[in-house]
Amino acid sequence: MTGESQASAELYHPDSGEWTTTGEMVEGRYYHSATLLDDGTVLVAGGSYSTAQGGPQTLATAELFDPATGRWRATAPMNTARASHTATLLGDGTVLVAGGSAAGSPGTATAEVYDPRTATWTSVAPMADGRMSHTATRLNDGTVLVVGGSTSGGGASVAQAALYNPDDQTWTDGGRLGIGRYSHTATLLADGTVLVAGGSSDIGSQASAEIYHPSTNAWTPARSMAEPRAYGPTATVLHDGTVLVVGGAFPDFASVEVYDPRNAEWVSAAPLPNGRSWHLATLLANGDVLISGGGTSGGGMFVASFLYGGS
């Protein structure tokens, strides 16, 4: 990321297929988290900030977006400045923020919880391993599975997973992946298992996939994708229970694959019109998937949105 951080925001309207601008954030930021809260507002926390003259700096600040007014307002800052972290909505409406890194620092093991009712952050027990660029998935029993990550930007990949229990705010062992990975995808499947695919590792970009089984707290290998996918691919559960994995492949950022849990197979799908990485993918009510933003394989140009037909 170069140049100045952006504070701008836009809203997508599925009925018209149009984007409209909305209020600007209090602070420009990137590598932040954005979490939809139970009351319909959006919590944005942390990230990095830079200007054309200098940076980056890591932020502890947080803000809330109100879609009813299109306005942003600051809320209490986190206890730890962090970027490339995860933020997970818990069953009681609070938000668990875990890991991440400050500029030039190793991945942190710290974690904290935001309570929208009091607009406060509370530090909770740290994970056993510091990590950044990991994933966090809320399981059906309410616990949160944190998978992989890197010890620092481009550092060693983490193979150990961790489980957060919101009842007592503690972490336990979540089993060990077959291979450490970061910037991967993690998807909760209909049967309660978690599909982890792609990402970067200490031996390069990965096409491999693994499945976490909560009933046994164990990992098993899954079939590999057709090609390795690092650099921020996305994975979206479609209405039929299959998983659409988009972009993030190297060197072909436009490729798309679908995982079918019923037969544990990957199937190649029609490619995107533009290759991209570090994009967003959002399932719409009609089954389409909105693919927005992301950089091109040619080196940093960001691309427009695209609707991918779902099920």
Please, which pLDDT band fits residue 193 given cuts at 50, 70 and 90?
A: very high
pLDDT, tens digit, 9 for 90 and up, residues 100-151: 998 778 999 999 999 999 999 999 999 999 999 999 999 999 999 999 999 9
Q: Where is pLDDT greater, at 280 or 251?
A: 280
Please tell me which residue, 219 or 307, carries the higher pLDDT value: 219
| Average pLDDT rounded to a whole number, residues 293-307 | 72
pLDDT at 158: 96
53-86 tens-digit pLDDT: 677 899 999 999 999 999 999 999 999 999 999 9
- pLDDT reading at 221 higher than 50: yes
Q: What does pTM read for this prediction?
A: 0.95
pLDDT-based confidence at residue 200 (cuts at 50, 70, 90): very high
Residue 39 has pLDDT above 60, yes or no: yes
The pLDDT-based confidence of 187 (bands split at 50, 70, 90) is very high
Higher-scoring residue by pLDDT: 155, 143: 143
Q: Provide the mean pLDDT of the chain.
A: 93
Q: Does domain 189-311 match CATH 2.120.10.80?
A: yes
- Domain extent listing, the chain: 189-311
State the pairing for strand pair 71-75/62-66.
Answer: antiparallel
